[in-house]
Structure 1
């Protein structure tokens, strides 16, 4: 017990690092050590020739005045179960035609039955029939444990007060918690058999357990059945206020609701890592909501980009097109890494995908361009073009295709040449519309249209729209 560097200890057969870590953590939980060194309680535990849990159980019981019952509980945990039962570890406890009654502790029930056996020799109990020989062996061991604890702790004086039966049962349950602080479990649903234990391990109460009401209980005897949940054959209910307050902490946890596509901030109170209770909160002062939102949004970028935002879509297309047409401009391609950069900024102060979709993506994406690049973009890939009539019509950009200008034929009367952009390298594709705004011609050669096509369609247009001016030489 004087060794502090356990990995360096010259073991005959060294335990695994995981086993060492788990054992050290248990001693800390039991109060036997602190920062790797023995506490006064740990020295008292070391003086008892018992494994740490049982030593802690007896010392706690001696302190609160229920040592005989605790010694009997320790003996029951260490010896073969004296209650005759079927070969199945998960059978209902039945007395005659009665199912087992609800209880606060399977182990306390056993202790009380053995106490009656010791006093009256009664072998028929609500838990089944006692095997007389096994029961006597348990009683002998309990007496030995009690005398050992008395001797080592000099606890020869009885407690000043004798607890009532109800108090004694509760005291013993508290002592069991002191010995099994890492075996606390919380029921998943009221009166359900399934629960989760400290450490995240799933457990399920055996049908034979009568601990059916308590939300919290200690798993005293578990069996690995090969299924997802270990089987708890002996459980003991506890009250929340019995838990060591030093092991309880409150945190603000941030997670993501996939269905609602929103970050949730949850205030959780934990005993070790076991969630005792939780509530949603709007308090984000100490919660890193932005990073959680970004982590989820960045994996599905298309879901958070603005929907039906023509200006944003066209801005991206303009930059990407001009980057292809004039590589010397050294414009960013505004691919995912660049949009992730914008997304990270937009996540600040927002909680969900819906807020991101409504965020000012265009303004922040423009910010990726320098002043000179923005000037060049507006000059060489303009958003609009002016027509001879003085109207400024919007261009449509699409990567890999020339820009398109949709305009009524009359808008272009007086325009002799096809407009060009990107330092004159790229002709604009003109979608020429009739007065009804339906396409009449698609061309990137306006002079050829005026010379060859316009005279042909002019006759039909004059007939259909006589109120409009259709000059021979537009």
Structure 2
């Protein structure tokens, strides 16, 4: 056994496990806890005929740990050291230490809550706080409390909030090991150097790598946010190496979606005399020893998928790592010798101490289904370091209920139990069950792996079509030649192996026409409809928006079912009907579906509604029958109005939208409104009676009272033109009010000529009397209304009814202005009578020739 720091505390670990069934171990990077500790427990008496299960957060770590531990024992993997990950199991009856990913333990607990064949469960790298680790620990603690008191639980990590975890384990003993054997020098950006942005990282990192290669020896591990940055950086470094004709250095990538062979190539030591640069995501942060690493370059960023419960979508975002992660990454340089870590941020930058637990930012649907199968409807009944957000829990419950996995009381149904047996997301499990009924299990298994695993298309090939991918997988399965220029054949074969474990029965033919239906069974709320023809923008059944790249193979499909999208809120190169840019999620994977398929296979999701709406363009009420799939209108037909009362109410809404002036007001009816409003505007003058409110706002608000009774059987503004609005409004006044109104604000006034002239009350402050000047001869004082308290504004008109003078003081007009006006009028209207003394002259509306007729 190697001389590792962990060896110093192994006796203490063994001693504590003899007397305590719960233990916490804190051991910094390089201590050897992952491989040395489990092996040291193989001969413990309490193990007997049982096994040790050790959980690792990633499949790569599982395989790597198993290989290293088997090598230390001089055995092959599958003997005393075995492993089990999704779709892959290497173990035997001899296996004493089984290394698994966290989801595997959950499956074992569900199958056997007592874990009868297990003596110890080790939670390695627990600081990463994946949702599966939190769930597995919660279930293990309950099993230990209720069924298996002798079950031992060991939680260990390189960096850990030990007080919180010890408290969760009811003050379990804590053992701390020394850290790495070799020092690591931390080098930060110079204060004068600006921190690179995510987009600048490839160029910045490749230049730094080139410089460090010249000044330092040993292999190099570079942490970058995601695959895109890794590929760009790798391209830039290889270009530099090619220019310098350097063949002693090779660059490899390390991330989760690579094949097993590619991952192993990145981990293994380079050939003798060669140097290696490994460009990795945070997959290389824990549980792996990449041989010969002496230099670490840390971008400080990590990509993570954050779930938004309000949209039901994941959003890929980059964020700065925690202090714990920075320590872990730097520790990779000190595993085998002294090393250096270049931190691409300033030394004074403040980092969070711990990583945010996944349970606080991920989709909880699968976890909640597991809890329902376990028998816990309330999450608070189990022990958690962090309770998940309420919004995410509500979303998960609603989705499980819609899928038929739980009932209204959150208890698991028979369908839900069957879903659990697939070990995939509840959406996909639901799809698999429904597909079996439709004899489409083979097609569904291909869809399932295409959604869960790495894409078979290269990133440069722009097509979101799942149907195409299913076709490619089927062709590869049948040995049919394909154009592999944009396809990862190795990954295709891996996916086919995975699909065969979901559905063993393979078929010689494949029903591509039903792929959209299968997707819709899993993602009913993501059935979407194109907003407009030749548009890249779609409206989803859940009222959210999404869009395709214009170069996408599925562009302009009328209906899509979307299984993979990123809710990053990009703006579309188009403008909505209200003039605002649509905010949408980018579609990564989808399939087209016909409207007829939606109506046939998803009819239980379709709701038909009869509705009345106002057509602003045609200014009429329209009755329509619409079939809705969520927020999407599938069918729409015009129909006869079913209820006069409902039509009348929508018609009133149309009037409110168009305004009161859209009604056919006559001079009398409009005058009545203005007279009432005039009187009400002068209430302070203490009139003899009160009057109703005829202002526009009040009339619009009270149309249900005064207008509704008169519009039965009418459905348009045009049909309302025959209404006698004067009669309708005057009907709101009593006889006394009408008499008082005529006295206070008469509709007409008799002038000196004997003519009855309308008074315009539209201006409540200055009612207007527009009258020919000749008809006012002999009128010395200005006429007034409201019991003589408000003088009329007199518009004195020419014989052609053109305004000649406006006055509210007739006496002054006759005395000071009339002579000038008279001169002008005598020149233009010679046939009319223009006396020198207007106060003694005869008022008339006639010409001189006709005055005495």
Gaps of 5+ in 1: 94-104, 148-157
Question: Does 1:346 find its partner at 2:707?
Answer: yes
> 1:311 is matched with which residue: 668, 672, 686?
668
Distance of aligned partners of 1:407 and 1:48 in 2 relative to their CA distance in 1, 3 Å threshold: same
Aligned counterparts of 1:428 and 1:213: Cα–Cα separation in 2: 67
Question: Could you tell me whether the CA contact under 8 Å between 1:342 and 1:361 is conserved in 2?
Answer: no
Question: Could you tell me whether the CA contact under 8 Å between 2:652 and 2:703 is conserved in 1?
Answer: yes
Distance of aligned partners of 1:300 and 1:129 in 2 relative to their CA distance in 1, 3 Å threshold: closer
Give the Å deviation of 1:81. Answer: 1.9
Partner of 1:98: none
Question: Could you tell me whether the CA contact under 8 Å between 1:304 and 1:354 is conserved in 2?
Answer: no
Question: Does 1:218 find its partner at 2:593?
Answer: no
Give the Å deviation of 1:278. Answer: 1.8
Other structure's SS at 2:387 match: coil
The 5-angstrom pairing of residues 368-379 of structure 1 reads: 368-379=732-743
> 1:24 is matched with which residue: 384, 397, 400?
397
Partner of 1:382: 746
Aligned counterparts of 2:499 and 2:563: Cα–Cα separation in 1: 17
Aligned counterparts of 1:330 and 1:396: Cα–Cα separation in 2: 21
Aligned counterparts of 1:189 and 1:299: Cα–Cα separation in 2: 26
> 1:363 is matched with which residue: 700, 721, 727?
727
> 2:451 is matched with which residue: 74, 77, 92?
77
> 1:106 is matched with which residue: 461, 465, 468?
465
Give the Å deviation of 1:269. Answer: 0.8
Question: Could you tell me whether the CA contact under 8 Å between 1:194 and 1:204 is conserved in 2?
Answer: yes
* 1:409-454 C-alpha deviation (Å, 9 max, x unpaired): 68999x99987654465677888889887899988789x98xx997
The 5-angstrom pairing of residues 62-461 of structure 1 reads: 62-83=436-457, 85=458, 87-88=459-460, 91-92=461-462, 106-120=465-479, 125-126=482-483, 128=485, 130-146=487-503, 165=509, 168-171=511-514, 173-189=516-532, 193-206=536-549, 210-211=553-554, 215-224=558-567, 226-227=569-570, 228-238=583-593, 239-283=597-641, 285=643, 288-291=646-649, 294-295=652-653, 297-298=655-656, 301=659, 303-304=661-662, 306=664, 309-323=666-680, 324=682, 326-344=686-704, 345-346=706-707, 349=712, 351=715, 359-385=723-749, 392-397=756-761, 398-401=763-766, 404=769, 406=771, 422-423=786-787, 456-457=837-838
Aligned counterparts of 1:410 and 1:65: Cα–Cα separation in 2: 96
Query: TM-score normalized by structure 1?
Result: 0.72
Question: Could you tell me whether the CA contact under 8 Å between 1:186 and 1:196 is conserved in 2?
Answer: yes
Aligned counterparts of 1:191 and 1:381: Cα–Cα separation in 2: 62
Aligned counterparts of 2:808 and 2:428: Cα–Cα separation in 1: 92
Gaps of 5+ in 2: 1-371, 571-582, 820-834
Aligned counterparts of 2:439 and 2:656: Cα–Cα separation in 1: 60
Question: Could you tell me whether the CA contact under 8 Å between 2:478 and 2:508 is conserved in 1?
Answer: no
Distance of aligned partners of 1:206 and 1:381 in 2 relative to their CA distance in 1, 3 Å threshold: closer
Other structure's SS at 1:456 match: coil
Distance of aligned partners of 1:440 and 1:116 in 2 relative to their CA distance in 1, 3 Å threshold: closer
Other structure's SS at 1:382 match: coil
Question: Could you tell me whether the CA contact under 8 Å between 1:251 and 1:268 is conserved in 2?
Answer: yes
Query: TM-score normalized by structure 2?
Result: 0.43
Partner of 1:49: 423
Aligned counterparts of 1:352 and 1:4: Cα–Cα separation in 2: 59
Q: Rg: which structure is higher? A: 2
* 1:36-80 C-alpha deviation (Å, 9 max, x unpaired): 454432221133322202212222233333333422331222111
Partner of 2:435: 61
Aligned counterparts of 1:341 and 1:334: Cα–Cα separation in 2: 11
Distance of aligned partners of 1:71 and 1:316 in 2 relative to their CA distance in 1, 3 Å threshold: closer
* 1:7-51 C-alpha deviation (Å, 9 max, x unpaired): 866573333343233323322332323434544322211333222
Distance of aligned partners of 1:42 and 1:328 in 2 relative to their CA distance in 1, 3 Å threshold: same
* 1:139-160 C-alpha deviation (Å, 9 max, x unpaired): 332232236xxxxxxxxxx7xx
Question: Could you tell me whether the CA contact under 8 Å between 2:442 and 2:507 is conserved in 1?
Answer: no
Give the Å deviation of 1:184. Answer: 1.2
Other structure's SS at 2:503 match: helix
Aligned counterparts of 1:212 and 1:420: Cα–Cα separation in 2: 73
Give the Å deviation of 1:292. Answer: 5.0
Aligned counterparts of 1:244 and 1:381: Cα–Cα separation in 2: 67
Q: Which has the higher contact order (CA 8 A, sep 6+)?
A: 1
Distance of aligned partners of 1:381 and 1:63 in 2 relative to their CA distance in 1, 3 Å threshold: closer
Distance of aligned partners of 1:110 and 1:320 in 2 relative to their CA distance in 1, 3 Å threshold: closer
* 1:205-261 C-alpha deviation (Å, 9 max, x unpaired): 456754468533321222345413333333223323333222111113444445555
Give the Å deviation of 1:197. Answer: 1.9
Aligned counterparts of 1:164 and 1:136: Cα–Cα separation in 2: 16
* 1:280-301 C-alpha deviation (Å, 9 max, x unpaired): 4452528945555555644664
Partner of 1:151: none
Give the Å deviation of 1:263. Answer: 4.7
